[in-house]
A and B are shown apart, each in its own frame.
Chain A
Amino acid sequence: MAALRLLRLLLLLGAGRGAGAGAAAAPPPDAEVTFVLPAGRRECFYQGAPANASLEAEYQVIGGAGLDVDFSLESPSGRLLVSEFRRSDGAHTVEPTEPGDYKLCFDNSFSTISEKLVFFELIFDSAQDEEEEEEEEEGDAWVEAAEPEDALDVKIEDIKESIETMRSRLERSIQMQTLLRAFEARDRNLQESNLGRVNFWSAVNLAVLVVVAFLQVYLLKSLFEDKRTVRT
């Protein structure tokens, strides 16, 4: 008898959780992409989004002369949500999202010779936190009405809740880390190109200096070279 009660309770808890999860589809995994955008090209990326979630798009130009790019974000219904020109970084949040495919475009057409190294990150946050909380309360109510032998279930649900909290915090850490990594990569690339430029142009400067000095002396001397005989 007690075993049957236990089984029914387990099924109810399981069903409750299942229904909750079905109501709001799991948000798509976060995406981060680093790619080379050739000069004069426009490249677009599409990302499907569920309804009523929040989409955060962050991008950074981490390499290439000028460190800037044009960015645009279109909703699934074709509406232009964001349009930025010649920016080196940006962050935009769309909330709530329409169901469908969002289009992100990076445009490097204004530059004819320099390719850009672009990094972008898409972070999804579903608005299902509230639903989960209600569900846990329901689950707890059922559990309170149950027998002590269901104590194991309570512990497992608690553990799962902690795991879920930890997981979302870790995801946030990973996102922060990725963003900081992009900043650092950009600064490092910039500094490396600085070093190259300092060395190159200083060497060129020195070479021109020496060549001009010799040229001056040579030209001056040649002005006094007589084709006629020297008067004594």
Chain B
Amino acid sequence: LALYFHIGEREEKCIIEDVPSDTLVIGNYKVQRWDTHKQEFLESAPGLGMFVTVTTPSADVLLSKLYGPQGTFSFTSYLSGEHIICLQSNSTRFVAFAGSKLRIHLDIRVGEHFFDESVVQAKDKVDEVNLRLEHLIEEIHHISKEQNYEREREEKFRKTSEETNSNILWWAIVQTLILVSIGIWQIKSLRDFFISKKLV
């Protein structure tokens, strides 16, 4: 029951995740191909794979792998910032099919592992409580990290605002000074010119 969307066969779809540093990001996806004969999406498309590329905020490639039609990928960010997760199919067919498209189911979790209810309930009681507690602790850590990161970004935001504010004033002063000095230069230059032309 994850989120899904449609893209063309050769298209690349990118999702942006703004994460703090040292954060685990896990993505779970499933891709289906549209079958024009049956007019529905095939349950499994053999040979169909997805290139998953993850780019860091400093434009380095963190992950670039080919996975099958269904898979899980994960990476840990070492920088904080916007990471771009791109998915593209490895289909080598030329874009000749008018109705060909892919359905991609995608679920991305930031800062916590997937919590599988059915697996947890199968364990004995104490283990179950243990697992739940561990997941909770993970969530709490993630919230705390996000908050610290938010503090950093808010500081950057404040600096930018203050810089804009002072820049506006600075530019206005510089423009006024240059305007005045150019005005003086113009008058002087023209006066000298007219005097030399014996018109004044």
Give residues in A with beta carbon < 8 Å to B: 17-18, 21, 26, 28-29, 31, 33-36, 43-50, 101, 117, 122, 153, 156, 159-160, 163, 166-167, 170-171, 173-174, 177, 180-181, 184-185, 187-188, 191-192, 194-195, 198-199, 202, 205-206, 209-210, 213, 216-217, 220-221, 224, 230
Contact = CB atoms under 8 A, between A and B. Distances in A.
Nearest to A29: B107
A101 B150 CA distance: 34
Given A31-B2, A36-B14, A174-B143, A163 B167 contact: no
B160 A191 contact: yes
B178 to A, nearest CB: 6
B16 A117 contact: yes
A23 to B, nearest CB: 14
A188 B171 CA distance: 22
A220 B117 CA distance: 84
10 contacts: A18-B121, A50-B1, A167-B132, A170-B143, A191-B160, A198-B164, A198-B171, A202-B167, A213-B185, A221-B193
Interface string B11-23: 0011111100000
A21 B118 CA distance: 10
A195 B164 contact: yes
B107 A31 contact: yes
Nearest to B115: A29
B150 A33 contact: no
A17 B118 CA distance: 12
Given A188-B160, A191-B161, A213-B182, 5 more contacts: A163-B129, A173-B143, A184-B157, A198-B168, A198-B171
Contact of B164 (A31, A43, A194): A194
Nearest to B142: A174
Contacts of A29: 2, 107, 109
B95 interface: no
B10 interface: no
Contacts, number: 139
Interface stretch (B32-40, B56-64, B133-141): B133-141
Nearest to B118: A26
B93 interface: no
4 closest Cβ contacts across the A-B interface? A202-B171, A28-B1, A48-B1, A34-B16
A230 to B, nearest CB: 8
B199 to A, nearest CB: 7
A220 B190 contact: yes
Interface string B37-71: 00000000000000000000000000000000000
A47 B3 contact: yes
B82 to A, nearest CB: 8
A202 B147 contact: no
A34 B17 contact: yes
A202 B166 CA distance: 13
Contacts of A230: 197
Nearest to B199: A224
B175 A34 contact: no
A20 to B, nearest CB: 12
